[in-house]
């Protein structure tokens, strides 16, 4: 299934958002997620089914002012 991950096109054979994070190397990383502009809380990731064309954002702590 073709997806956008942090703005980059990828082809991933996954069913859910949790599957995608595991497949893309995030594992137990401290991240927050959004799909198509909507926040998806961590507990909801295993049940959040992805569809072709979904835009997934994976954000992590970063420097800020």
Partner 1 sequence: MTEFYGTTLPNGLMLGTAQYPSPAILADAFKRSGAGVATVSLRRESGQDRAGQDFWQLIHQLGVHILPNTAGCHSVKEAVTTAHMAREVFDTRWIKLEVIGEEDTLQPDVFGLVEAARILSEDGFQVFPYTTEDLVVADRLLHAGCEVLMPWGAPIGSGLGLNNVFGLRAMRAHFPDVPLVIDAGLGLPSHAAAAMEMGFDAVLLNTAVAKAGDPAAMAEAFASAIRAGQLAHAADPMGPRDMAAPSTPVIGKAFLE
Which residue among 15, 39, 53, 55 contacts partner 1 (CB under 8 A)?
39
Residue (49 or 55) nearer to partner 1, CB: 55
Residue 56, classified by CB atoms within 10 Å of its CB into exposed (0-12), middle (13-18) or buried (19+), is buried
Count of residues that interact with partner 1, criterion CB under 8 A: 26
On whether the CB atoms of residues 9 and 16 are closer than 8 A, the answer is no
Cβ 16 to partner 1 shortest distance, Å:
16
Q: List interacting residues with partner 1 (CB under 8 A).
A: 6-7, 21, 24-26, 29-34, 37-39, 41-42, 57-65
């Amino acid at each position: 299934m073709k997806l956008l991950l942090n703005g980059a096109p990828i082809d991933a054979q996954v069913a859910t958002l949790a599957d995608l994070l595991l497949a893309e190397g995030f594992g137990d990383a401290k991240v927050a997620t959004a799909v198509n502009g909507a926040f998806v809380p961590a507990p909801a990731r295993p049940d959040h089914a992805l569809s072709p064309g979904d835009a997934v954002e994976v954000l992590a702590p970063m420097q800020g002012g």
